[in-house]
Each structure stands twice: as C-alpha cells, then as structure tokens.
C-alpha cells in the first residue's frame, strides 16, 4: 500500500538535491568578490616590478593597501615610476597561483602578505634585480628569498603573534571556559524544569550507552562560552579580530539551530540537519569568503576554479565534517576531547602564521569545550547533543577552510589529517552498511569503532548491570583511545603542515591502521 509517508520519502532525495543547489546558487550570488591590490612599477633599463597582495573582501581596504605599497616604493626608489595602482578582480585562481608556493615563469620574491614579480626582456637583468632587491634578502629575519623562474617557491616566515594578542587569546579561552561551565551548572542544577524536552532517555536507540536519562543540550553551554568570548573580544578592542569572529558566530547559527531543534523535539531528520549545516557553510562563503581554493589533487583543483563548483565542494565538506563529529559523539568526552586536540593544533599553526582571528577562534572554542567538559567527563551529567555536535563540526570545518583560504602556504591536507578520524569513520560506516551489510547508511547501529572499543573493554561482563556508576565508568573508558588516535594524527600534522605529500601519506597510514584495528577488535569480541 502506498501512503503519503512513503510518497514523501520517495521525493526526499529530489527535495534535498534541490535545496542543496539553491544553497550553492545563493552563496554564489551573495559571495563577496575579492580585491587584489596590485602596483606596477617601472624601473630603469626597461625593468618592471609587479606587486601583488592577497585578496581583500573590502575595496576600500584594497585601495588603502595599494596606496601603502606605492608610498613605500616612492620612498625607497626615487627614480621609479608608478605605472599602475589598482585593485584586481577577475579569475582569483590566476592571482592565487602567483601568491602560492607553486612555480611560476618569472623571478619572484616575497613581501608581507604578497609577492613581487620582475619582468624584463633581459631575463638575466630581471633575475639579478630579484636577487638584489632589499626585500629579497633576510628582511627582519623573515627570509624573503628570491625564486628563479619555474623553481619551487617557499612562503616567507610570517610575523608571529605578539604577546598582547596571545594574552588576549588566552583570556578569551578563560572567559569562554568559565561562561560555559556556569551555563552547564545551570542546565544540570535546573534539570527538572527542562527534562521533558532535553532528556536523552536510556536505551532509546542502539547507539545509546548511558546509565540514566541525561540532558542533551550541552550545546547551549558551548554557545554561552562563545558568546561570552565575543563580548570579551569587543571589550579588548581587538578591532581586526572581533568583526570576523562575529561573522563566524553568525554563520554557525543554522547548524546549531538544526541540532538543538532535534535535541528538543527528536523530529528533525539527518537530511534537514545536514542541509542547515551546509547553509551555515554558505553563510561562511558570504560573510568570510570561506571557499576552498585548492585540494592539491590534480584535476580537481582545475574544477575548483569554477566558483559554483568550489562553493558546492565547500558546503559538502563543511557539512560532512559536522556530520562526522556528530557520529563520533557517542561516549563521554569523545568528540569534545578530539576537538580540543584538533583546535589546539590549529591554534599553534595560526600563531606561527600570525593570524590573530584564527587563533582567537580556535582558543574560544577550546575554552567553551573545556567548560562543557567539566560536566561531561567523566561523570556524564550533560551531553553535547546534536546542537553542540553540529556547531562544533561546523566550527572545525570552517576554520579548516579559512586556514587554507587565508594562507596559501598551508597544505589543505593539514586540516584533513587533523580530522581524518571522524571523516574516515563516516566514510567507512557508509561503506560497511551499504556494501557489506546491505542496509541504509542512515540506519543507526552499534558497530562504529568507538562502540567496538566499548564492547572490547567490557567483554566478559554483563552490560545489563543496574549499577549506573559502573556504566558511567565503562562509558568514560572509551574516550582516551579516541584522544590517542587523534594525537597520532595531530603530531605529524604539526610537523608537516606545509608538505602535502607527507600529509597524504600520514592520512593513508591512519586509514590503514584504522581498518587493521577495527578488524582485530572484531576478532577479539568474536564478531568476525
């Protein structure tokens, strides 16, 4: 018998696809163009210098940058003539190629946030000028070395975060942690008032392993921490950081709302939550220019030059990361501890790059998670819930995209290696359910790696015990194994964050290790 419900389910893929296309189209239409400051200088003997800086979202900022460059040139080279002073639009891929580490056909040297290329009919003259330029030596210890045509180019060492900026970041971490811990206290203290809507019941689904009904609205505590850090950031008068931080918070609203609605109503489908997270990624495109510029994959990078395709890949990637964080959020402290390690690695590299916005954003979320952690691990008095998991996943995915967008020297496989555990968990789970078991990929089960680890740790014991303290203790034994796996990825990522080849190799090694560990655990619990 065909019912309205089955008809609706039949049209779900069409509806989801149409909504995804609409999100990508809207993001493409609303996307702010990038303006690349360019100054062309004519020197002696027919030599031309072309200064190009990283793209800016505001034209007035671009115009100010060109004036600064032109002023510096006039002061250092009185005989030079400014031939052009403009803000370039056009194909961003062409400008990003020149700003990246990839070889180009001209001599080039680095300047802060940009590059200088040397053009002359006399190739030897151009190369000699590149090598003798005042910024092509060891300027202030940053080593802006000249690169010959068609040779590998290394990005200069960025100006590191100053003590004042680092102090602000650590203060925000503390403020965020205190605010999240206080919000968590209120959630637990007045649990009886909201239990009807917020409780996650025991044994409500096969993936549930907690002892007593527990509030699953810990995402509210995380949001409280992030909001408090935003207020503190405004009070600290860090003008260059609080505006993009506010945009990041605003972009994450759809992801959080979809998750918290599921926590309270238990009626929001996975497809709806995923689409809302992709909508959040689209807001990131609009407000922050967060579009994946490259993946260092031959062929795919060429396709990413087409803006709608790049936006679609970005939305899918950010939504996928959010969904994967929700999947591994199965035991006390597992997802939050994993995220703290990942964010700490991102914060470290952001500090090396001198990016105060990314550093502050990572530290603020670390603080919010630590405040939540106080109520979640090991006692399990409150869960992250879908609201917290999807917001956290969006935050991780968006920071990953922005790190690659804002810093061409960062390999896109750096955040990929940091997040390879939840991503591969999701991919393998889909393969296992669909191909090996012939089930729907959306069907929940008890066969994720963290659940298999739990079965291994509790083998030989009765999982039907009535003692809640024992179940909580067993539950909390799983997370440290996840943290160890995350550290195995974070440490090489921190050492190799520029080196795509080595990062890819490390990611493949992890995936192989995951499969071997999974198979070995199944043998031990006699499920294989």
Interval 186-239: pLDDT, tens: 999 999 899 888 887 765 554 455 557 889 999 999 999 999 999 999 888 765
The verdict on 481 and 431 lying in the same domain is yes
Q: What is the pLDDT of residue 426?
A: 94
For residue 158, pLDDT over 90 is answered with no
Return d(Cα 137, Cα 122) in angstroms, integer. 22
For residue 75, pLDDT over 60 is answered with yes
For residue 4, pLDDT over 50 is answered with no
Where is average pLDDT lowest: 23-32, 269-278, 485-494? 23-32
Quickly state the pLDDT bin for 143 (edges 50, 70, 90).
very low
Which residues does 46 contact at the CB level (< 8 Å), separation at least 6? 120, 121, 122, 125
Quickly state the pLDDT bin for 253 (edges 50, 70, 90).
very high
Q: What is the pLDDT of residue 247?
A: 94
Better-predicted residue by pLDDT, 153 or 318:
318
Mean pLDDT over the full length of the chain: 87
Q: Is residue 65 part of a domain?
A: yes
Q: What is the mean pLDDT of residues 51-66?
A: 88
The verdict on 323 and 359 lying in the same domain is yes
Phi, psi (5° rounding) for residue 41? -120, 130
Q: How many CA atoms lie within 13 A of 73 on its CB side?
A: 25
Q: What is the dihedral of CA 295, 300, 301, 307, to 10 degrees?
A: -100
Return d(Cα 523, Cα 515) in angstroms, integer. 12
Q: Print the domain residue range for 84.
A: 36-141
Neighbours of 4 (CB within 10 A): 7
Let me know: does 316 contact 278? Beta carbons within 8 Å.
yes
For residue 474, pLDDT over 60 is answered with yes
Q: Is residue 488 part of a domain?
A: yes
For residue 139, pLDDT over 50 is answered with no
The three state secondary structure string of 151-187 is CCCCCCCCCCCCHHHHHHHHHHHHHHHHHHHHHHHHH
Better-predicted residue by pLDDT, 153 or 412:
412
Return d(Cα 508, Cα 504) in angstroms, integer. 6
The three state secondary structure string of 264-322 is HHCCCCHHHHHHHHHHHHHHHHHHHCCCCCCCCCCCHHHHCCCHHHHHHHHHHHHHHHH
Q: Is residue 151 part of a domain?
A: no
> Which helix (H) or strand (E) segment is 214 a member of?
strand 214-215
- Cα dist from 462 to 284, 455, 467, 521, whole Å: 48, 11, 11, 18
Token pair for 369 = 């998670």
Q: Is residue 147 part of a domain?
A: no
For residue 503, pLDDT over 90 is answered with yes
Let me know: does 23 contact 275? Beta carbons within 8 Å.
yes
The verdict on 175 and 107 lying in the same domain is no
Return d(Cα 266, Cα 132) in angstroms, integer. 67
Token pair for 371 = 């405040």
- State which of 83, 109, 141 marks the end of a domain: 141
Q: What is the pLDDT of residue 15?
A: 84
The verdict on 226 and 84 lying in the same domain is no
Return d(Cα 384, Cα 402) in angstroms, integer. 25
Q: What is the pLDDT of residue 340?
A: 98
**Maximal C-alpha separation, the chain:** 88
For residue 241, pLDDT over 80 is answered with no
Q: What is the pLDDT of residue 42?
A: 92
Q: How many domains does the chain have?
A: 2
Quickly state the pLDDT bin for 152 (edges 50, 70, 90).
confident
Nearest to 276 by CA among 217, 333, 323, 221: 323
- State which of 84, 111, 141 marks the end of a domain: 141
The verdict on 323 and 404 lying in the same domain is yes
- State which of 141, 175, 199 marks the end of a domain: 141
Better-predicted residue by pLDDT, 167 or 204:
167
Q: Is residue 256 part of a domain?
A: yes
The verdict on 185 and 89 lying in the same domain is no
The verdict on 83 and 205 lying in the same domain is no
Going through 78-184 in order, the beta strands assigned E by DSSP cover 81-88, 108-111, 114-119
The verdict on 298 and 372 lying in the same domain is yes
The verdict on 282 and 357 lying in the same domain is yes
Q: Is residue 99 part of a domain?
A: yes
Peptide bond connecting 523 to the previous residue in cis, omega within 30 degrees of 0: no
The verdict on 121 and 195 lying in the same domain is no
Quickly state the pLDDT bin for 102 (edges 50, 70, 90).
confident
The verdict on 72 and 200 lying in the same domain is no
Q: Is residue 10 part of a domain?
A: no
The verdict on 325 and 248 lying in the same domain is yes
Phi, psi (5° rounding) for residue 371? -65, -40
Token pair for 138 = 């060891």
Q: What is the pLDDT of residue 298?
A: 85
Return d(Cα 400, Cα 343) in angstroms, integer. 10
Q: Is residue 496 part of a domain?
A: yes
Which of 127-131, 305-309, 469-473, 516-520 is predicted most confidently? Answer: 516-520
């Amino acid at each position: 018998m065909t019912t309205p419900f089955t008809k609706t389910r039949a049209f779900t893929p069409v509806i989801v696809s149409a909504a995804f296309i609409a999100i990508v189209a809207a993001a493409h239409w609303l996307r702010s163009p990038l303006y690349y400051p360019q100054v062309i200088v004519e020197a002696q003997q027919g030599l031309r210098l072309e200064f190009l800086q990283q793209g800016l979202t505001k034209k007035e900022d671009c115009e100010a940058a060109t004036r600064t460059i032109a002023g510096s040139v006039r002061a250092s080279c009185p005989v030079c003539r400014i031939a052009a002073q403009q803000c370039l639009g056009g194909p961003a891929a062409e400008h990003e190629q020149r700003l990246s580490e990839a070889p180009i056909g001209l001599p080039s040297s680095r300047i802060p946030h940009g590059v200088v290329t040397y053009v002359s009919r006399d190739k030897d003259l151009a190369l000699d000028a590149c090598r003798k330029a005042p910024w092509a030596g060891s300027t202030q210890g940053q080593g802006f070395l000249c690169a010959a045509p068609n040779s590998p180019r290394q990005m200069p060492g960025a100006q590191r975060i100053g003590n004042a900026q680092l102090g602000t970041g650590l203060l925000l971490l503390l403020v965020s942690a205190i605010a999240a811990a206080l919000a968590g206290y209120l959630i637990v203290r007045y649990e009886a008032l909201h239990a009807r809507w917020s409780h996650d019941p025991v044994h409500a689904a096969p993936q549930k392993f907690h002892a007593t009904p527990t509030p699953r609205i810990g995402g509210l505590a995380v949001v409280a921490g992030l909001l408090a850090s935003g207020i503190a950031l405004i009070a600290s008068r860090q003008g260059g950081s609080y505006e993009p931080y506010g945009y990041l918070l605003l972009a994450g609203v759809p992801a959080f709302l979809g998750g918290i609605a599921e926590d309270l109503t238990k009626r929001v489908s996975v497809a709806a939550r995923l689409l809302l997270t992709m909508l959040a990624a689209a807001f990131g495109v609009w407000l922050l220019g967060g579009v994946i510029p490259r993946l260092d994959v031959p062929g795919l990078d060429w396709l990413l030059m087409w803006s709608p395709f790049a936006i679609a890949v970005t939305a899918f990637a950010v939504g996928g990361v959010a969904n994967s964080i929700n999947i591994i959020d199965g035991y006390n402290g597992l997802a939050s501890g994993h995220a703290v390690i990942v964010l700490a690695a991102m914060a470290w590299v952001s500090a090396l790059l001198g990016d105060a916005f990314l550093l502050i954003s990572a530290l603020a979320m670390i603080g919010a998670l630590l405040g939540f952690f106080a109520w979640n691990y090991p006692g399990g008095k409150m869960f992250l819930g879908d609201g917290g998991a999807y917001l956290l996943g969006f935050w991780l995915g968006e920071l990953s995209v922005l790190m690659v967008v804002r810093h061409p020297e960062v390999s896109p496989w750096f955040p990929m290696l940091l997040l390879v555990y939840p991503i591969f968990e999701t991919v393998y789970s889909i393969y296992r359910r669909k191909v090996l078991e012939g089930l729907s990929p959306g069907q929940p089960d008890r066969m994720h790696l963290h659940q298999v680890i739990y079965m291994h740790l509790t083998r030989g014991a009765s999982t039907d015990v009535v003692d809640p303290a024992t179940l909580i203790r067993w539950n909390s034994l799983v997370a440290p194994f996840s943290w160890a796996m995350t550290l195995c990825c974070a440490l090489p990522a921190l050492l190799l964050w520029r080196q795509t080849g080595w990062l890819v190799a490390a990611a493949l090694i992890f995936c192989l290790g995951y499969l071997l560990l999974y198979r070995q655990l199944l043998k031990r619990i006699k499920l294989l």
